[in-house]
Amino acid sequence: MVIGLALFVIAATLIGALLLRLAVHALPASCAFLAAQTIYHSGAGLVAALAGAAVAAIATLALAQCLLAFVSSPATRIAIGLAFALPAGLAGYYAMRGFAVATMPVSIWQQVLPMIATATIAVTTWVRFGTAPRERH
């Protein structure tokens, strides 16, 4: 029983760490899925849909990095940060909500823990994306 509880705590910690590391990519993943769905339903085929998804994800990240590197306006930087932090927070909410529903009895903590995860993941994404270098040449 104790070993199972310890393994559960380790697994939950590793899942949380993975979620925090991958949260920055929630917006590019959403763009990739949307592009793949659009291309596939236009009749282009599976390979074209996968290629389009890869291009959409890479273009989203590249555009955001370029904008953060060349724009010094605080409002624009905040908008870019929000564009990445809000989908990451939403993904964190649903991930923690599924984890809480699967592992906990029905209680208020099934709502509180996902809210904490949402705030933590959104702030972490905001900080990671907000610390892009501001180099001017």
CB 110 within 8 A of CB 97: yes
Whether residue 135 is contained in a domain is answered as no
Whether residue 103 is contained in a domain is answered as yes
Summarised one tens digit per residue, pLDDT across range 43-89 is 999 999 999 999 999 999 899 888 888 888 888 888 888 888 888 88
Whether residue 89 is contained in a domain is answered as yes
Whether residue 137 is contained in a domain is answered as no
- Rounded distance between C-alpha atoms, residue 108 and residue 27, angstroms: 29
Say what the pTM is: 0.72
Whether residue 85 is contained in a domain is answered as yes
Whether residue 17 is contained in a domain is answered as yes
Which range of residues forms the domain containing residue 41? 2-130
Whether residue 73 is contained in a domain is answered as yes
> 132: buried, middle or exposed (CB in 10 Å: 19+, 13-18, 0-12)?
middle
Q: Looking at the predicted structure, is the pLDDT value of residue 10 above 80?
A: yes
Whether residue 136 is contained in a domain is answered as no
Instruction: Give the number of other Cβ atoms within 10 Å of residue 79's Cβ.
Output: 12
Q: How many distinct structural domains can be found in the chain? A: 1
